[in-house]
Each structure stands twice: as C-alpha cells, then as structure tokens.
Amino acid sequence: MYGAILVLSGPSGAGKSTIINAASDQIGAYYFSISTTTRAARSGEQEGRDYFYVSTEQFEEDIEAGNFLEYAQVHGNYYGTSLKPVYEALRAGKLVIFDIDVQGHRLVREKLDDITTSAFITPPTLSELGERLHLRSTDSNEVIRKRLENAKKEIRAVGEYDFVIVNGDVSRAAEAFTIIAKAARLKQSRNAEKAFVQQWLEN
C-alpha cells in the first residue's frame, strides 16, 4: 500500500484550510505537510504541529543528502519542506497534502509527478477575495494589497493544475475537494503500473 500526493494552491483567503477541515472525515488518513526549521519554537508552538525543529547541523546534513523539496534561509534560520516525513506518510498509505504556492507546485511536479494530483482553490472573483481579506481583519491594507497583487499573478498559472475549486460555497467546495482527494489516491506511480502489468501477464 502506497499513498499519494495532493497539492493545493490558491491565494490567502481562498479558504483552503476551511475546506480541508470540512472534508477531513471523508478523505481517509492523510498527512498535512509541515515545514522544518532551525529556529527555536515560539511560545505556544508544538513540535510536529507547527514545525519540525532541528539543529542547523542536521538541516545542512539533510540539504547535502537531498532531503528537501525546497528550502531557504531567512534571518539566519533555515526553513524548508523535508521529504523524509513525506515519504514516511506515503509508505503508510496516507494522502500527503501540501498547501504551497505555484512555485512549490512546480517543484513537487519535478520530483514526484507520477503520484501527484493538484487543485487550485480560489474565490469566484478578485473583488470577493479582497472582501474576505478585509473581513478577516488580520492584515494591514498594505499587506492585503500585496496579497491581491500576488493573487493576480498566481491565477494565471491555473492551467498547470489538474483541478480548479471555486470556493463560493464551503460545503460544495468541500464536496469537490473530497472527490479530488479520493481520485488522487487512485493515481498509480509508474513503478506500481509496471508491477501490475507484470503480475497481470504472469497470472
């Protein structure tokens, strides 16, 4: 039994986390990809929930070993997406869910394309996205402006994704997400396909 990967992208405010939570009971065992960092845990943060916390030495050893999908150094600390927990979850037969941007989606496709399904989640319109961001009251007007500008760029990459979920109604969006998640589990790797063909021919 081997798992599969589902990449989710979309602008901040599209409702990705809300959709995942609404569908969590319907999609079976899954692992939500968590970043690894060398910075110390902040008050209230938990290992394995917010981040995986490692030493700089361990992080750099994993860089040398090619264990990161992507990584960056910010303010003296490393941040990255480690492939080790991803592979562990896949071996356990789980659906691995990434919530990453367009560039991150391209990186996943480069390394793990044959077991990857992707969906772009977006509100119906740019103006509705702006309304949602303002209603959240968590960002300044300048931050919201930057988020909207970034959303204009990311929407142009929608054709790179297998599916698009227009989140105008959470229940309908969660239903679509559930269907996509179940379909992602049915996608076989090239090795699995070869093994099936060989077994089919021999029996």
Do 7 and 102 belong to one domain?
yes
Q: What is the pLDDT of residues 190-203, one digit of tens each?
A: 777 888 898 899 98
Q: Domain boundary at 48, 65, 92, which?
A: 92
Residue 94 is classified by DSSP as: P
Enumerate the β-bridge partners of residue 91: none
Q: Domain boundary at 92, 126, 141, which?
A: 92
Question: What pLDDT was estimated at residue 188?
Answer: 77
Do 111 and 13 belong to one domain?
yes
Do 111 and 166 belong to one domain?
yes
3-state helix, strand, coil in the chain (%, to 5): 50, 20, 30
Q: What is the pLDDT of residues 109-134, one digit of tens each?
A: 998 899 999 999 999 999 999 999 99
189 pLDDT more than 80: no
Do 127 and 88 belong to one domain?
no
CATH code at position 58: 3.30.63.10
12 pLDDT more than 90: no
Question: What pLDDT was estimated at residue 70?
Answer: 84
The residue segments making up the domain with residue 106 are 1-29+95-198
Exposed/middle/buried for residue 188 (C-beta within 10 Å: 0-12, 13-18, 19+): middle
**Cα separation, 33 vs 104, whole angstroms:** 12
Do 7 and 105 belong to one domain?
yes
Q: Are 96 and 115 in contact (CB under 8 A)?
A: no
What is the average pLDDT value for the chain, to the nearest integer? 91
Do 137 and 177 belong to one domain?
yes
- Mean pLDDT over 166-191 rounds to 92
Report if residue 187 sits inside a domain: yes
Q: Are 100 and 9 in contact (CB under 8 A)?
A: yes
Report if residue 4 sits inside a domain: yes
Q: pLDDT class for 1, splitting at 50, 70, 90? A: low
Report if residue 203 sits inside a domain: no
Three-class secondary structure of residue 189 per DSSP: coil
- Mean pLDDT over 30-51 rounds to 89
Q: pLDDT class for 103, splitting at 50, 70, 90? A: confident
Q: Taking the CA of residue 174 as centre, how many other CA atoms within 13 Å lie in the half-sphere pointing to its CB?
A: 15
Residue 1 is classified by DSSP as: -
**Cα separation, 108 vs 160, whole angstroms:** 12
Structure tokens belonging to residue 164:
């698009």
DSSP string covering 3-60: -EEEEEE--TTS-HHHHHHHHTTTS-SEEE---EESSPPPTT--BTTTBEE--HHHHH
Do 23 and 48 belong to one domain?
no
Number of domains in the chain: 2
Q: pLDDT class for 73, splitting at 50, 70, 90? A: confident
Cα dist. 155→10, 11, 16, 109, 151 in Å?
8, 8, 15, 18, 6
